Structures are given as structure tokens and as C-alpha cells.
Amino acid sequence: MALIELYSDKILDIAANAVQPGRLPAPDASSRKVSRICGSVIEVDIVVSDGVITGYGHEVSACALGQTSAAIVAREIVGTRADDFLALARQMREMLKAAGAPPNGKWSDLAFLEPVREFPARHASTLLVFDAVVDAIEKASSEQNLTPQT
């Protein structure tokens, strides 16, 4: 597969039509992640209540792959248990790095990113939102004296 083929119509559509949620005024935790490989940047904010992500915001400056994964996360994350998101982040990493199965259910659009597996230099930007949210969950958990189940 050529790199240009990686940017499917569906990936470009999701990235182009992504709602930009902006930052939250009073998050429980925030995280900023930068890809050293491509320079993509994402800053995320979350609110967690009783182990459920009840608020999410972000600002993203990334390639279409990073924008696509961030858009899907922004669309689906509210109402997700923090533990379930941690499992999703592991599944995404396994999908790209270990030929694992793509997510399903409300996260099934992440399967459009499965071809990224063949382009290791693109893994970082695709996973950036997951790294940032996991970091924010860990920060929120320590602030709230919660222990995320892994």
C-alpha cells in the first residue's frame, strides 16, 4: 500500500467534518502530548464522575490520521467508563503494533485506521489522542484517589 492510499475517503471525511469541542473551563485533568516524529499536538481535558468520563474537550493540531482518531474519540468518549477507555487505548495500540483486532461497537469507526499498521511512522499521530486521554485519566484518578483497573 502506498502512503497516499492510507488517506482513504472515509478518513478524510471524518477529519474534515470533525466537530472541534474546544477546551473545558474546569476539567478534572488535562494532558498535552506531542508526536516527536511529525509534530502533531493534542491537548485534552476530561471530567470524570464515579469512574465515567462525563466531560471532554480538546484542541488538536495534527495530520488527517491524528485528526480522525481525535474526532472519533471526541464523538464517543462522553459516557465511557474510564476503565473501558484504558482498554480501548490498549486495543488501538495492539491493532497498530501487533495486528490486533480493531475496536467494535460505538468505536467501530476506528477500524478505518487499521491500515496505519503498515506505516509505523504514522502510529504516533494516530495514537496521540489515546496517549493524552490515558494520561489525563491517570491524573484524574490520582486526584480523585481512584485506582483505574487495567
Among 1.25.60.10, 3.10.450.240, 3.30.230.10, 3.90.1010.10, what is the CATH number of 1-145? 3.90.1010.10
- The domain ranges of the chain are 1-145
Work out the average pLDDT over 90-102.
97
pLDDT in tens, 110-128: 999 999 999 999 999 999 9
pTM for the full predicted model: 0.91
Torsion of CA 79, 30, 141, 126, to 10 degrees: 70
Residue 144's pLDDT band, with cuts at 50, 70 and 90, is low
Spatial separation of the C-alpha atoms in residues 41 and 35, rounded to whole Å: 7
**Grid cell digits, residue 28:** 478534572
pLDDT in tens, 14-50: 999 988 899 999 999 999 999 988 889 999 999 999 9
Residue 32, strand partner residues: 43
Spatial separation of the C-alpha atoms in residues 146 and 67, rounded to whole Å: 30
Question: What pLDDT does 109 receive?
Answer: 96
**Grid cell digits, residue 54:** 462525563
Question: Does residue 139 have a pLDDT over 80?
Answer: yes
